[in-house]
């Protein structure tokens, strides 16, 4: 059986960071197992391809959650990257690190080392920031961040000015001294090409002789010797293979697949594993509990002024956009995220922190009621745009658990949306906030009508009913192998070591003790960076 010092499961936002950092010194051998395949497709590399990979099973696990009673029994679509780069290869590329308090709350939950002050150096380390080096930002790191303010649609300026009119100040940098306010998103795009972690971390490391990357290698369980993780079993081309880990196995399979893999491996709630006839290695009742996500609803507007729809909807417009991309050094709408502007806002007086995340997209392309299909490449055939909101820190929590010992079966994803009073309250406030912004100049005079939900939906009851009917995930699933000091309530300790066993860590979005206030990719890469440091520090101690 092949032997490595470390086996990393999952080449996603965190896994690619680990593969790079653990092999950098040439001291350790690493096997990186990825269930998906190559990321060479232009639909992955060209930013607008987001609309295509969103529901392409070649690159996407395309999970469906259980019917959600709070959302009228609808099943939410749960896309997850299944390709080198993981979800960073199919995401919308918005770069937001979160509010400092998000991480201070991680530390306050019993996790020394994870406060804002302590994680900031890892954010700086991962960045190659266009604003240059500062107390907030780093340069020369693997992840190129772009400031696209010179290229965004002019309507973004109207949105920001309208926000100012309702008392939301402009911020020049959501990731700097002022994370609150309205402004333009920074993006993980370099010269018109997506900056996934496969591009940023894995490619520069691929030639290293101490790194082996196996694609289409689906890990089916962690192998234990007693309570020590000793290797991994995986399926490759229909054949069951295994590899040995001399030092550690690191599970970076993401918020849906990491708890699934732990349970398949005998680490989970003893009763669940007994019911499924799986041998128990460690009774860890927190595995799979605590799922969090951002649940957003979009308000669609018909516009009096041209929007991206005018550029992208007609066939001739698509051809022009493609030619601009190819001939003008990868510029134009295809080189951009459609998420261009937004805001972090306190929706009522008395709040210490922003509770509302607002998106402004100068295009309108689908209703969320269309299930898994998203017509991003086919926007509405008239000028239009959308605004969305979600609660920054929802308090509802769901779960992810296996329902069968078959590693290829989808786990049961229970979202448990709107389970708390405060999450419901934020729906009312979010709707009022969007409508206040829409009614303010100069945005107001650009609007022909609110197409959806429309003026008939006004009172709290109608707003909530509409939200239940149309709200959808923003795909920030996290918290299913939560970090904390107590083995009964947490899965990993503050060093990301799985409680109750040895030689096994989890490092990805599943360890978040609470969801961060913005998009999650940057925070996951930070987790990968910090995990690599923790593992390398421990590599100096002799193996038990």
Ligand X SMILES: Cc1cc2nc3c(=O)[nH]c(=O)nc-3n(C[C@H](O)[C@H](O)[C@H](O)COP(=O)(O)OP(=O)(O)OC[C@H]3O[C@@H](n4cnc5c(N)ncnc54)[C@H](O)[C@@H]3O)c2cc1C
Residues that bind ligand X (CB under 6 A): 9-15, 33-36, 54, 79-82, 86-88, 90-94, 218-219, 252-255, 257, 261, 475-476, 508-509, 519-522, 524
Question: 448: helix, coil or strand?
Answer: strand
Provide, rounded to whole angstroms, the least separation between the CB of residue 174 and ligand X: 11
Q: Which residue is nearest to ligand X (CB)?
A: 12
How far apart CA 456 and CA 462 sit, in angstroms, is: 8
Instruction: Collapse the DSSP code of 146 into the 3-class scheme (helix H, G, I; strand E, B; otherwise coil) and give the result.
Output: strand
Least distance between ligand X and beta carbon 348 (Å): 26
- Tracing tokens 């299909």 back to the chain, one arrives at 373
Q: Are 150 and 430 in contact (CB under 8 A)?
A: no
**Shortest reach from residue 481's CB to ligand X, in Å:** 10
- Closest contact distance (angstroms) between CB of 409 and ligand X is 12
C-beta of 88 vs 303, nearer to ligand X: 88
Q: Is 25 exposed, middle or buried (0-12, 13-18, 19+ CB in 10 A)?
A: exposed
What's the min distance (Å) between Cβ of 235 and ligand X?
9
Question: Are the C-beta atoms of residues 480 and 508 closer than 8 Å to each other?
Answer: no
Q: Which helix (H) or strand (E) holds 193?
A: strand 193-194
CB 401 within 8 A of CB 261: no
> Quick check: bond before 453 cis, omega within 30?
yes
d(CA 260, CA 220) in angstroms, rounded, equals 9
* 3-state SS class at 251: strand
Beta-ladder partners of 351? none
Cα separation, 28 vs 21, whole angstroms:
10
State residue 382 phi and psi, 5-degree precision.
-145, 160
CB of 85 vs ligand X, minimal distance in Å: 7
C-alpha span between 472 and 460 (Å, rounded)? 19
Task: Specify the residue, 464 or 492, whose C-beta has the smaller distance to ligand X.
Answer: 492
- To ligand X, the closest distance from the beta carbon of 216 in angstroms equals 9
Cα distances (angstroms) measured from residue 485 to each of 114, 258, 362: 13, 19, 45
Consecutive H or E run containing 107: helix 100-108
Would you state the torsion angle of the CA atoms of residues 43, 47, 49, 55, taken in this order, to the nearest 10 degrees? Answer: 110
| Cα separation, 451 vs 302, whole angstroms | 6
Q: How far is the CB of 146 from ligand X (least distance, A)?
A: 13
Burial of 212 (0-12, 13-18, 19+ CB in 10 A): middle
Q: How far is the CB of 261 from ligand X (least distance, A)?
A: 5
CA distances (Å), origin 473, targets 70, 77, 78, 296, 519: 13, 8, 8, 6, 12
Cis omega (within 30 of 0) for bond into 310: no
Q: Is 540 a catalytic residue?
A: no
Whose Cβ is closer to ligand X: residue 440's or residue 516's?
516
CA distance 428 to 112: 36
Pick the closer one to ligand X by CB: 107 or 522: 522
Specify the residue, 195 or 522, whose C-beta has the smaller distance to ligand X: 522
Cα separations (Å) of 330 from 94, 191, 407, 418, 507?
A: 18, 7, 41, 42, 34
- Tell the smallest beta-carbon distance from residue 53 to ligand X (Å): 8
Query: Which residue in the list 153, 476, 499, 540 is annotated as catalytic?
Result: 476
Q: Which CA distances in Å does 253 have to 6, 35, 80, 142?
A: 15, 9, 10, 21
Closer residue to ligand X (CB): 438 or 504: 504
Positions marked active-site: 476
């Amino acid at each position: 059986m092949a032997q490595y010092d470390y086996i990393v499961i999952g080449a996603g936002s965190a896994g690619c960071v680990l593969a790079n950092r653990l092999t950098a010194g040439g001291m350790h051998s690493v096997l990186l197992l990825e269930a998906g395949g190559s990321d060479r497709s232009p639909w992955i590399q060209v930013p607008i391809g987001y609309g295509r990979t969103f529901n392409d099973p070649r690159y996407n696990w395309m999970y469906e959650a259980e019917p959600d009673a709070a959302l009228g029994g609808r099943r939410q679509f749960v896309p997850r990257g299944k390709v080198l780069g993981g979800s960073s290869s199919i995401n919308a590329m918005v770069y937001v690190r979160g509010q400092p308090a998000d991480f201070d709350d991680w530390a306050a939950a019993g996790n020394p080392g994870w406060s804002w002050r302590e994680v900031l150096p890892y954010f700086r380390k991962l960045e190659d920031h266009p604003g240059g080096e500062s107390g907030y930002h780093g340069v020369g790191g693997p992840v190129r961040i772009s400031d696209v303010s010179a290229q965004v649609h002019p309507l973004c300026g109207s949105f920001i000015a309208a926000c100012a009119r309702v008392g939301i100040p402009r911020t020049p940098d959501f990731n700097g001294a002022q994370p609150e306010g309205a402004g333009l998103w920074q993006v993980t795009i370099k010269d018109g090409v997506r900056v996934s972690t496969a591009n940023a971390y894995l490619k520069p490391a691929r030639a290293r002789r101490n790194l082996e990357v196996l694609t289409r290698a689906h890990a089916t369980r962690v192998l234990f010797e007693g309570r020590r993780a000793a290797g991994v079993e995986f399926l490759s081309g229909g054949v069951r293979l295994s590899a040995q880990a001399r030092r550690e196995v690191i599970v970076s399979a993401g918020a849906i697949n990491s708890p699934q893999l732990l349970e398949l491996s005998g680490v989970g709630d003893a009763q669940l594993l007994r019911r499924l006839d799986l041998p128990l290695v460690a009774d860890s009742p927190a595995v799979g509990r605590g799922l969090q996500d951002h649940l957003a609803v979009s308000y669609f507007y018909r516009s009096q002024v041209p929007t991206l729809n005018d550029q992208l909807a007609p066939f001739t417009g698509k051809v022009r956009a493609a030619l601009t991309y190819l001939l003008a050094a990868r510029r134009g709408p295809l080189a951009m995220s459609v998420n261009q502007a937004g805001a972090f806002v306190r929706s009522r007086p008395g709040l210490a922190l922003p509770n509302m995340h607002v998106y402004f997209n100068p295009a309108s392309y689908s209703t969320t009621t269309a299930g898994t299909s998203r017509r991003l490449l086919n926007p509405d055939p008239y000028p239009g745009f959308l605004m969305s909101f979600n609660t920054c820190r929802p308090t509802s929590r769901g779960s992810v658990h296996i329902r069968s010992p078959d590693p290829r079966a989808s786990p049961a994803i229970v979202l448990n949306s709107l389970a708390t009073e405060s999450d419901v309250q934020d729906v009312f406030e979010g709707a009022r906030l969007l409508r206040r912004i829409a009614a303010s100049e100069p945005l107001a005079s650009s609007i022909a009508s609110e197409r959806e939900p429309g003026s008939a939906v006004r009172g709290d009851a109608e707003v909530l009913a509409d939200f239940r009917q149309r709200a959808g995930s923003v795909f920030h699933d996290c918290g299913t192998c939560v970090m904390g000091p107590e083995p009964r309530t947490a899965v990993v300790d503050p060093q990301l070591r799985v409680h109750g066993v040895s030689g096994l860590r989890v490092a990805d979005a599943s360890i978040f003790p609470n969801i961060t206030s913005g998009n999650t990719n940057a925070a996951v890469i930070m987790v990968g960076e910090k995990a690599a440091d923790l593992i390398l520090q421990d590599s100096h101690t002799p193996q038990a």
